[in-house]
Amino acid sequence: MNEAQKYELETIIEELEGYRGRHTELITVLVPSGATLTQTTKQLEDEKGTATNIKSTGTRKNVIASLDRAIRKLKEIERTPENGLAVYAGNVTLADGRESLEVWAIEPPKKLKIKIYRCDQTFVLDPLKEMLETDECYGLVIIERNEASIGMLDGKHIKLLQHMTSGIPGKTKCGGQSSARFSRIRESLAKEFFKRIAENMKTHFWDNKKLKGIIVGGPIPTKDEFLVQGQLVTQLKEKVIGVKDIGGTGMHGLHELVEASSDLLAEQEITKQRQILDLFFEKLAKEPEKVAYGIAEVEDRLMRGAVDKLIISKSLPKEKVKAMEKLANASSAEVYIVTNETAEGVQFDNLGGVAGLLRFEIHN
């Protein structure tokens, strides 16, 4: 699923979540990949017969009308798409306050594996929401002598799960203790700290089925000592795919660790976003005639067929994103949807949140 497909699915889910039926009269039909629409159509015809027994005249009328719309839509489509089909129908209240009998037919970007028919006050959206979840994530751990941070990279989202302090005193002598004894105390506290980190990593990562790997960062030699002495369980130790030299913990440190790990995360969404935005900013500085930014300028370049890669921020209004995607598709431009959850994303938003890398220069 590419970013444009993901954004489109997010948008339709958000819209459908906003609708509520007055009674149990909103229809959800999920047809799994490989199923035939003929069987589903027959089931809905049977449900129409059952619906005639509904006591409330208004509810009965709306349910039967919704089933009719769903059946007509299935007959229009004729064959089940490769990934299955999600059909939603019902009498809903639109943004302007009008009630309207609407139907949506969605071919999901991933295979539907579940068959559902439901008549309720809300649409069944969980199977589509699950498709938006990333298939894999990475554990992030930063270890310094005095503190540590445990985080998670999930798609484009970096989350701080836990921050810990060690309580290890500095190297300065105190209380008249001998240098050797003070050093032993510090080493004992360090081992205890490493043990706590390992235990908390197990708490956060052990049951995560999507965990593809763990990246450990920190200064030399602390992070390396942890991997040797930290009592990390074998299953998690084998998940460590990289060790990076960085300084700083907390959210800033986690972002720095992810940035330093671009070689390990080449296929991850956050790395792809950074790469396309870095390319835009580089061209803006060195070849400004090969880029366009701002809604009016980019729309003009799209209509002229000059845009090779269109970059759009999710912070733009949905209607504007859809309109620009439509222009991009008409000229076979690649579409990249980015967020403002990284420093590059914030900088991009400040420039208007939309840009195009051009196939050729445009002279006004």
25 and 104 fall within a common domain: yes
Q: Which CATH number does the domain housing residue 209 bear?
A: 3.30.420.60
142 and 245 fall within a common domain: yes
Boundary (domain end) residue, out of 132, 159, 178: 132
* Domain assignment present for 62: yes
Q: Give the structural domain span for 346.
A: 270-358
Q: Can you give the pLDDT at residue 364?
A: 67
Give pLDDT tens digits along the chain (364 positions).
778 888 899 999 999 999 988 888 899 999 999 999 999 999 999 999 999 998 989 899 999 999 999 999 999 998 999 999 999 999 988 777 788 899 999 999 999 999 999 999 999 999 999 998 888 899 999 999 899 999 999 988 899 999 999 887 766 555 555 777 767 777 888 889 999 999 999 999 999 999 999 999 999 899 999 998 868 898 999 999 999 999 889 999 999 999 999 999 988 888 889 999 999 999 999 999 999 999 999 999 999 999 999 999 999 998 999 999 999 999 999 999 999 888 899 999 999 999 999 999 887 6
CB 24 within 8 A of CB 121: yes
The letter for the amino acid at 13 is I
143 and 257 fall within a common domain: yes
HEC secondary structure over the chain: CCHHHHHHHHHHHHHHHCCCCCCCCEEEEEECCCCCHHHHHHHHHHHHHHHCCCCCHHHHHHHHHHHHHHHHHHHHHCCCCCCCEEEEEEEEECCCCCEEEEEEEECCCCCCCCCEEEEECCCCCHHHHHHHCCCCEEEEEEECCCEEEEEEEECCEEEEEEEEECCCCCCCCCCCCCHHHHHHHHHHHHHHHHHHHHHHHHHHHCCCCCEEEEEEEECCCHHHHHHHHCCCCHHHHCCEEEEEECCCCHHHHHHHHHHHCCCCCCCCHHHHHHHHHHHHHHHHHHCHHHEEECHHHHHHHHHCCCEEEEEEECCCCHHHHHHHHHHHHHCCCEEEEECCCCHHHHHHHHCCCEEEEECCCCCC
The half-sphere exposure of 37 on its side-chain side, counting CA atoms within 13 A, is 19
* Domain assignment present for 48: yes
* Domain assignment present for 364: no
Boundary (domain end) residue, out of 265, 299, 328: 265
204 and 292 fall within a common domain: no
Q: Can you give the pLDDT at residue 296?
A: 95
Give CA–CA dist 105/127, Å, rounded.
Answer: 15
Treating both helix axes as pointing N-terminal to C-terminal, what angle do 222-229 and 179-205 enclose, rounded to 10 degrees?
Answer: 70
107 and 206 fall within a common domain: no
252: its two tokens: 């800033």
Boundary (domain end) residue, out of 132, 151, 186: 132
101 and 28 fall within a common domain: yes
* Domain assignment present for 178: yes
110 and 186 fall within a common domain: no
Give CA–CA dist 275/46, Å, rounded.
Answer: 53
Q: Which CATH number does the domain housing residue 83 bear?
A: 3.30.960.10
* Domain assignment present for 183: yes
281 and 241 fall within a common domain: no
261 and 143 fall within a common domain: yes
Q: Can you give the pLDDT at residue 172?
A: 55
* Domain assignment present for 281: yes
52 and 92 fall within a common domain: yes
> Tens digits of per-residue pLDDT, 132-181?
888 889 999 999 989 999 999 998 889 999 999 988 776 655 555 577 77
220 and 297 fall within a common domain: no
* Domain assignment present for 363: no
Q: Which CATH number does the domain housing residue 331 bear?
A: 3.30.1330.30
Q: Can you give the pLDDT at residue 170?
A: 67
Give CA–CA dist 187/168, Å, rounded.
Answer: 9
275 and 173 fall within a common domain: no
Domain count, the chain: 3
Q: Can you give the pLDDT at residue 193?
A: 92
CB 137 within 8 A of CB 152: yes
